[in-house]
Structure 1
Amino acid sequence: MTSFFDPAIFANTPTINVQDNRGLTIREINVHRASASGDTDIRITRHQYDTHGHLSQSIDPRLYAAMQTDSSVKPNFTWHYDLTGNLLRTESVDAGQTVRLNDIEGRPILTKTATGIIQTRQYEASSLPGRLLSISEQEAWETTPHVTELLIWARNTPEEKNRNLAGQCVNHYDSAGLIRLESRSLTGTVLSQTRQLLADDQEANWINDNEAANQSRLDKQTYTTQSTFDTTGALLTQTDAKGNIQRLAYNVAGQLKGSKLTVQGQSEQIIVKSLTYSAAGQKLQEEHGNGVITEYTYEPETQHLISITMRRTSDTRLLQDLRYEYDPVGNVINTRNSTEATRFWRNQKVVPKNTYTYDSLYQLTEATGREMTNIVRQNHQLPSPVLPTDNNTYTKYIRTYTYDRGGNLTQIQHNSSAIKGSYTKRITVSNRSNRAVPSELTDNPMQVDTLFDAGGNQNTLTPGYHLDWNTRGQLQQVTLAAQRNSINHNKEWYHYGSDGTRLLKVNEQLTQYSIQQQRVIYLPQLELRTTQNDQNITENLQVITIGEAGRAQVRVLHWEKPPTDIKNNQVRYSYDNFTGSSQLELDDKGRITSQEEYYPFGGTSLWATKDQIEANYKFIRYSGKERDATGLYYYGYRYYQPWVGRWLSADPAGTTDGVNLYRMVRNNPVTLHDPDGLTPEQWHTREAFKQLPFSEHSLGTRDELAPKISGTNSLWYEAYHGQTKEREALGLFNELPFTEPKVAAAEEINLHGITTENVTVYRVEVAQQSEKFLYTAITDTGGVKIAVPNRSNEHGDREDYLSKTMPAEARKGGGWYQFAKNYIAANKGKSSGNLAFYNFGNPRRALQFYEQKTENPKEKFPFVIKSFDIPSAVFKAIAEDATLEKDYKKFPTAPMNVDVAAFNQLGLQPHHVDLLVGSIVPKSGRVYSENEHWQLMDKSSQVTSRSLIRRRQ
């Protein structure tokens, strides 16, 4: 493929961080250049700190320039803290002002949102564990609050103990209904849980200490999901609410090797027949139950995915041959599907490939590809598919993208040879925030903010479509504005669970004589879709979603009353492209059902199907997400508008992706992917599979990839088995600004004051005395999950590695502690491999540890952690004795500082450390520097502390 990468664009465009005398980053300088011949633009993001070193203000270059001529322009973010350093008030030009108050225990007790909603939390009395009991909300017009969440905890009865429910929340009434925990395993995994929805689509308003009244508000229909796990916590079977059973199998390394499905009343069928992996854990080949084999090829030097081929075994036909090319930093610059023919239309050669060009900030500036000639200007409506799939007319298109200095997409220029194929989409950005709307709504920047509520939620989708939001900033209803005041009108509305997951979608359309209603109930691995005219149900469809199906998203369509115009129990394999978008659909025989291609920021450029009825049942499209009738894509925490390349609301995770809370994947939708609407990640570096989502009741946040802490398994293994990335599993180690092999790079220095003088990293080769120290420390502490082997090492697969290195007595039950002791004892003075050590000691031992020296006198020994921040939600969950199966660092609660030398002053115990490691606020760790380590002498040796060691090659 021909490369469109021009290195001249990126020449002399470094990223520079400027620090004050405290080591705090006060300027982030980026150099922007859009083309090789273009001028450079210096863009500076400015930060301010209070006297205690807390970040108090951030402003991007666009708003800073506006502030010079208009004093009423405010910074992007302003933060205020209480006397203990806890975040008290956040002021955002995008998301508005939020106030959070904690009680004396550091638990969140009152929150006032930008829209005026007051949320209060009630906890158990101090004589009890202090667990959360209820959450109440009060809107500005209400005189009294209403209870939106009510938690009922097990009373430790014999029956509850028999089901391992002692100390657990067994009934959680939330904004969508009730989730009941039926049973748990000894290791804490959920074996059975039941969901009930609110009756008559009413809003939640629970009553304390009145179970009968609360039960009367619920629909009588219950939905129970059951699971079984092996001894390592790996999911073996899952039975959904309709009795459909999914069964999984793993290889000796804990990787998925096959899956099967049994539809209620039907025979078992194979979904994934086989999977093979490389030594690095990457997929090499997979074979599905439809007889299609997919093979993957990776670039040896970078491990970038460079090809995906799909072949049908019945006739060896090549169905797909995707090729990828990258620039030096990993941005995709070329893709091509070699199975597609080159076509000609109006003297134009249309090649089945896409090219991408970026500016010096890696924002996509130009994209080329192909589209159907019958596609008109992109909007919120889906174009009609072309029939049949192998006889379509295509043309080339070129799209150019323009951004402002704050990272807002302001213009999409589309050029095509098709009739009416060229147009320009303009987006109007507010002159005092990052809020923006299509120019059809307004072309006046001063009016943009009036189209949003105070919390940064967009109120108008397109001309004529009004948006309503609930008290938690979730999209509640989309209404045709012309009929808003009518009792019956065209609308689509939604209900969500306490974890933010959408549980119910209802679309209502007025017809001449009736109201047609389409309902979707979302359950674990199951969607219940019904269609009715008034009270007459015309369709009752179960969509079984396969949780583990390799590259494909597999969905089985099962009608309770078989239809006449489409096959019942239809298995649809949806194969994605590089960005996870559903590109090719195959049936259970490997035959092509539909084909779809997309513009970079979303929107269909090509859609061909063999049958219009089949096309009506394609629900998953761009980025692997569901497209609603409104044209919006539901990501989990937010909704996305593909026709303008922006989120519909401000990022609930705050500044995890910068100070612009509406920007989509840093304006690089070809290389980056956002799994849930919070933070982008590189699609091709993500883990191949995720464990089936089956979490316990939620306390306000969700992350299926969070590591599960249980039993004597190592934290890393638990995380790996759930397909969590190593950086999530190793927690705090990766929240410090390390680079390979042993120095901290300037551009990685964070906003919390860690500098290269504070942090040092040493090589795998350590001195003999350091090994001896580690052995002594581990022996003294009783060994709390101390050694964690990396999965990528010279020994090959993890299980094989353990079988060769773990002593027999450890394998028989000694566990990780015994293994670590024996491993270190057997390797004194030698390389210890890529290991991470955890240690509970005391300040005196931490000081001894800090003073150890390596054989190289110029090389400092590793650091000792001084303190770090955790979201207060984590502390709250620990105080409530909850199992942390969530990634609380993505939840926008106030950070709470933890001093490791005074660990037990917060009431935390040694076994709580594993719960904290995965929830460290990114880059909040502080270490003892050379002029601070003397402070360890002042700490009482009776106070529990923690020293952490990180080894890197």
Structure 2
Amino acid sequence: MSGLAANIHANTPTLTVVDSRGLDVRTVAYCRAIEATEAEKRINRSARDSVGRPVKQWDPRLWALNKKDAASPANLISRYSLSGKVLGSISVDAGERISLFGDSDQPVQTWCSRDTGRRIEYDNLLRPLAVFEQGKDEAVRCTERYEYADAGADFAVHNQCGQMIRHDDPAGTQAVYEYALTGGVIEQTQRFLRALELPDWPQTLPERDALLEPVAQAATSVTCFNPLGDVLEQVDAKDNRQLFDYTVDGQLLANHLQLSGQATPLTLVSDIAYSAGGQVERETAGNGVVSTLRYSAEDGRLIQFHAARDDSVPLQDLRYDYDPVGNILSVEDAALPIRYFANQRVEPISRYDYDSLYQLTRATGWETGRVSRGPEFNRFDNPSAVANFQQTYHYDAGGNLLELVHVGPQNHSRKVSAARYSNRCLPYQDDRPPTDDQIAAAFDGNGNLLMLQPGQIMGWDLRNQLREVRPVKRESGDDCEWYFYGGDGMRRRKVRVTHTSARSLISEVRYLPGLEIRTHEGTGEVLHVICVQAGRSVMQVLHWETPPPAGIANDQFRYNLTDHLGSSSLELDSEAGVISQETYHPYGGTAWFAGRSEVEASYKTVRYSGKERDATGLYYYGFRYYVSWLQRWISPDPAGNVDGLNYFLYVLNSPVVFSDADGLVKFKPMLTLSFDSDRIDTRQRGISFSKSKLDEHGQGAKYFHGSDSSSLLAFTLGESSLTGHLLPMGKLLEEKLFPFGGEAGNALRKGAVNKEYVSTVNFDNFGGAYDYSNLNNGKQWNPEVGKVDLESHLGDLSQKEMDPDFHEAKRELLQGRLERWAALDSDSRQLVENSFAVVYGVLPDSSDAGRIIRVSSDVQGETGVRFGIASEEIRVVFTEEPHMDLVTKILRSHPPAKDVLVKAFSQVRR
């Protein structure tokens, strides 16, 4: 059966209804999952206020219910200040939130449905000084404190002036001892808390230090950068050294690892070759495995991933087939044989079907064939124990996966029931659906799930981060797993306590840059896991400070071959021997897991989507946890409605096509942004657009500029850039307007090379702008040519290193940018913080002479031309359909851009 059967998609358009102001108020889609059936209407409804802001939003399920039940609420209700900031919101999934802002629109205080509050104190430069939180019926607790360097000489020599040098957060304390000129952290130290409880940080430093473990247990990491901010060398807390080589255009060429005590580094990956579009075509791992990738010439989609040893024995040969819009129809691993078991012919191929909304409706593949042994582990000496499976999926109008029917040896069928007025769901128990009261009791006021499975209690901190799971209940004390997070929301520590009749045993994982330290009190094991991104492969080196387990050599290298989602499918040792093999059901459950040794296999932690699976079975993504047997998140999306109004939905029910980097927003791993940029001789990665379709739908635009960050939109419009122009940078610097650049927005995103809030303009880019500012004779850019000699805007970097005026200008720029960031409204910040692809159609006016072209590469793999754009010069903005409302909202709120049309990528894709 074809995944894009013509009968499924016949007469299923997407319609948009606009009001008299041209604002979207209703979107009508048609859903058909079974051929020869009537398509169902799926209506998304928005009610807007007098200035066009959405004040009520309904998804198709609650909008349909609203017609029958007057008590049915909107999915999301928003209330705004006079300046347009969201003061209050009520989400049926995430609860109620109230926010107050300061004179510069900085967030000051928030309250939520759990009766918890949060308050932030700032200094005169609007830098946060302390964060205070209060739970229901609890005393106020200081959960974070910040210290900043002054302008003293001791700080100046380490580039610390004005920078954060100490951050006390819920996991411990991070101290920064040196910054690079590009803003990257060169040297930092992490100290953890003595007690396994949330801190209440005192005012004085000695009192704070008393809460920490001894200085001797501090973990120091060092990173070295080149002048462009690329990482050249990273030394972790145990003196393991990673080294990186780059091509002339800044792409990774090779990386190496020198373990502590070793005299010379070992190569982990080398000879990385790229296509003209920046896609990896070939790389060689340190164990001799050569990976080759082939892409479709028409659209750049990955069609084959082949990995083989030096002797050309294939280890993995994944072959992909797509429908016209990019949904994956099949994945075949041609390196595996056809097998026969229990009167079945088992082919190593998975096939997928979709409904007219591109939700996955059916999947077939292969899994372990022996129920008695379960899906967790098989030995390689029993290769025939496999069988075919089929899964079908049934969704409600809100996207909730209500029923998964599994046909095969394993019993994975599951039904859930959704609450009447929200998308909170619980599974059936003993084939009986939960009542609304039971669902309501299973979640807290903010929508966090309180019980993983019957008897397994979960606790949440005041930031809606999972604090603890109690997997086993005992009279003598429950087994428990605790999680501790840094101020950035990322997990820094995991502690598991298990109780026996004789004693309690503690095992712990500490997460440091490039290193995990794992200890087990019961066995005395101390394990260092060095974590390395070796090209497309993720690898770990297991180094035991104590004797290693029997059958495993110390300093074991583990290379992971992954699929298109980043899921670890093969683990290889340093001689390219197979340690383990794992395949997955579409929503992340293990279909087949085999290895040469159960002891070796037990040390595998990185699995589905390249994420760590905890002992609880939860996958840790960063800002949220995913539960594969329920096919949904256990808490609402902290980013809000960036992926729609169902805050629990996992990647829009398309887990074969999309993944999620950190629990905030879906992305298509193989289709990062790329487009033909007309007369500008630059090409980016990913999606291909048709030039003829761009001309047809481009509203007369002459140039098309795109990025996988929408920050350009945020910083081109309105008062955030004062003049309405993103560039010319030099002129704005001369006038001390300190604009944000697109690079600044990119650096605020997860995945940026330089993550230090806004100090992100590459050294050479800033140098060019500085030259232009001082000399006012930079070579002009002729928009009819679309090119400029970039060297005329780039000064000698070594001379600028010695120029104090240059560094003073740079400091002013960074401080100015910080002030601009504090002044941005929440919607503009959302455009920066949540990455999604946008393409701007631009028709420059006659005043373009003198604008600077700049090449930026703050985000790994992205190379694009940035040039001056005034908001009134934008003719059209293209983006993915789920983000059209947000982009439209921003444009409508700025008079110079209120007439700009927003269109979907589907209109211009090749």
TM value normalised by structure 2: 0.79
Q: Is the 1:509–1:516 contact (alpha carbons within 8 Å) kept by the matching residues of 2?
A: yes
Q: Residues 132-154 of structure 1, C-alpha deviation per residue, up to 9 Å, x if partnerless?
A: 11110111202x41100111111
Q: Does 1:628 align with 2:625?
A: no
Q: Kindly provide the amino acid, as one letter, of the partner of residue 701 in structure 2.
A: V
Pairs within 5 Å for 1:121-520:
121-124=120-123, 128-142=124-138, 144-208=139-203, 210-220=204-214, 221-266=217-262, 267-313=264-310, 315-375=311-371, 383-388=375-380, 391-416=383-408, 418=409, 421=410, 424-440=413-429, 443-446=433-436, 447-480=438-471, 482-483=473-474, 486=475, 488-520=477-509
Q: Does 1:560 align with 2:545?
A: yes
Which runs of 5 or more structure 1 residues have no equivalent in the other structure?
A: 689-715, 728-733, 746-755, 766-773, 790-809, 839-872, 892-912, 935-951
**Structure-2 change in CA distance of 1:384 and 1:131 (3 Å):** closer
**Structure-2 change in CA distance of 1:739 and 1:177 (3 Å):** farther
Report the alpha carbon displacement of residue 198 of structure 1 after superposing the two structures with TM: 0.8
Say which is worse superposed, 384-393 or 459-468, in terms of deviation: 384-393
SS of residue in 2 equivalent to 1:80: strand
Say which is worse superposed, 359-368 or 227-236, in terms of deviation: 227-236
Q: CA RMSD in A?
A: 3.9
Q: Kindly provide the amino acid, as one letter, of the partner of residue 276 in structure 2.
A: A
In 2, Cα distance between equivalents of 1:778 and 1:633: 44
Report the alpha carbon displacement of residue 568 of structure 1 after superposing the two structures with TM: 0.3
* 2:524 alignment partner in structure 1: 538
Q: Does 1:926 align with 2:891?
A: yes
Pairs within 5 Å for 1:47-62:
47-62=46-61
In 2, Cα distance between equivalents of 1:665 and 1:365: 14
* 1:31 alignment partner in structure 2: 30
Q: Does 1:677 align with 2:663?
A: yes
**Structure-2 change in CA distance of 1:763 and 1:490 (3 Å):** closer
Q: Is the 2:288–2:576 contact (alpha carbons within 8 Å) kept by the matching residues of 1?
A: yes
In 2, Cα distance between equivalents of 1:45 and 1:833: 46
Q: Is the 2:376–2:592 contact (alpha carbons within 8 Å) kept by the matching residues of 1?
A: no
SS of residue in 1 equivalent to 2:473: helix
**Structure-2 change in CA distance of 1:444 and 1:914 (3 Å):** farther
Q: Kindly provide the amino acid, as one letter, of the partner of residue 485 in structure 2.
A: Y
Q: Is the 2:483–2:493 contact (alpha carbons within 8 Å) kept by the matching residues of 1?
A: yes
Q: Is the 1:557–1:569 contact (alpha carbons within 8 Å) kept by the matching residues of 2?
A: yes
SS of residue in 1 equivalent to 2:599: helix
Report the alpha carbon displacement of residue 200 of structure 1 after superposing the two structures with TM: 2.2
Q: Residues 840-888 of structure 1, C-alpha deviation per residue, up to 9 Å, x if partnerless?
A: xxxxxxxxxxxxxxxxxxxxxxxxxxxxxxxxx97685479xxx99985
Report the alpha carbon displacement of residue 489 of structure 1 after superposing the two structures with TM: 1.9
**Structure-2 change in CA distance of 1:681 and 1:588 (3 Å):** same
In 1, Cα distance between equivalents of 2:29 and 2:231: 46
SS of residue in 2 equivalent to 1:297: strand
In 2, Cα distance between equivalents of 1:875 and 1:175: 26
* 1:761 alignment partner in structure 2: 701
Q: Is the 2:891–2:898 contact (alpha carbons within 8 Å) kept by the matching residues of 1?
A: no
**Structure-2 change in CA distance of 1:237 and 1:369 (3 Å):** same
**Structure-2 change in CA distance of 1:171 and 1:487 (3 Å):** farther
Q: Residues 550-607 of structure 1, C-alpha deviation per residue, up to 9 Å, x if partnerless?
A: 1211100000123251110000001111221100110001111110000000111011
SS of residue in 2 equivalent to 1:676: coil
Q: Is the 1:429–1:445 contact (alpha carbons within 8 Å) kept by the matching residues of 2?
A: no
**Structure-2 change in CA distance of 1:105 and 1:885 (3 Å):** closer
Pairs within 5 Å for 1:883-902:
889-890=833-834
Q: Is the 1:311–1:318 contact (alpha carbons within 8 Å) kept by the matching residues of 2?
A: yes
* 1:87 alignment partner in structure 2: 86
In 1, Cα distance between equivalents of 2:529 and 2:868: 36
Aligned pairs, number: 775
In 2, Cα distance between equivalents of 1:776 and 1:185: 25
Q: Residues 257-294 of structure 1, C-alpha deviation per residue, up to 9 Å, x if partnerless?
A: 10000111124211012200001000110001000000
Report the alpha carbon displacement of residue 235 of structure 1 after superposing the two structures with TM: 0.4
**Structure-2 change in CA distance of 1:590 and 1:886 (3 Å):** farther
**Structure-2 change in CA distance of 1:28 and 1:465 (3 Å):** same
Report the alpha carbon displacement of residue 818 of structure 1 after superposing the two structures with TM: 5.9
**Structure-2 change in CA distance of 1:608 and 1:687 (3 Å):** farther
**Structure-2 change in CA distance of 1:929 and 1:660 (3 Å):** closer
In 1, Cα distance between equivalents of 2:280 and 2:576: 20
Q: Is the 1:574–1:583 contact (alpha carbons within 8 Å) kept by the matching residues of 2?
A: yes
In 1, Cα distance between equivalents of 2:727 and 2:447: 55
**Structure-2 change in CA distance of 1:300 and 1:74 (3 Å):** same
SS of residue in 2 equivalent to 1:926: helix
TM value normalised by structure 1: 0.75
In 1, Cα distance between equivalents of 2:889 and 2:130: 31
SS of residue in 1 equivalent to 2:433: coil
* 2:694 alignment partner in structure 1: 741
Report the alpha carbon displacement of residue 33 of structure 1 after superposing the two structures with TM: 0.4
* 1:103 alignment partner in structure 2: 102
Say which is worse superposed, 508-517 or 620-629, in terms of deviation: 508-517
Structure 1 residue aligned with 2:568, among 559, 579, 582? 582
**Structure-2 change in CA distance of 1:14 and 1:268 (3 Å):** same
Q: Which has the higher contact order (CA 8 A, sep 6+)?
A: 1
Q: Is the 2:126–2:822 contact (alpha carbons within 8 Å) kept by the matching residues of 1?
A: no
* 2:75 alignment partner in structure 1: 76
**Structure-2 change in CA distance of 1:289 and 1:34 (3 Å):** same
Q: Is the 1:57–1:77 contact (alpha carbons within 8 Å) kept by the matching residues of 2?
A: yes
In 2, Cα distance between equivalents of 1:349 and 1:489: 46
Report the alpha carbon displacement of residue 85 of structure 1 after superposing the two structures with TM: 1.9
**Structure-2 change in CA distance of 1:922 and 1:191 (3 Å):** farther
Report the alpha carbon displacement of residue 644 of structure 1 after superposing the two structures with TM: 1.2
* 2:802 alignment partner in structure 1: none
Pairs within 5 Å for 1:659-738:
659-686=645-672
Q: Residues 692-741 of structure 1, C-alpha deviation per residue, up to 9 Å, x if partnerless?
A: xxxxxxxxxxxxxxxxxxxxxxxx99x99xxx9899xxxxxx9xxx9952
SS of residue in 1 equivalent to 2:304: strand
Report the alpha carbon displacement of residue 390 of structure 1 after superposing the two structures with TM: 6.2
In 1, Cα distance between equivalents of 2:186 and 2:12: 54
**Structure-2 change in CA distance of 1:743 and 1:832 (3 Å):** farther
**Matched-pair identity in %:** 34
**Structure-2 change in CA distance of 1:777 and 1:317 (3 Å):** closer
**Structure-2 change in CA distance of 1:924 and 1:232 (3 Å):** farther
**Structure-2 change in CA distance of 1:576 and 1:77 (3 Å):** same
Report the alpha carbon displacement of residue 424 of structure 1 after superposing the two structures with TM: 2.8
Report the alpha carbon displacement of residue 822 of structure 1 after superposing the two structures with TM: 9.2
In 2, Cα distance between equivalents of 1:539 and 1:158: 45
Q: Is the 2:367–2:389 contact (alpha carbons within 8 Å) kept by the matching residues of 1?
A: yes
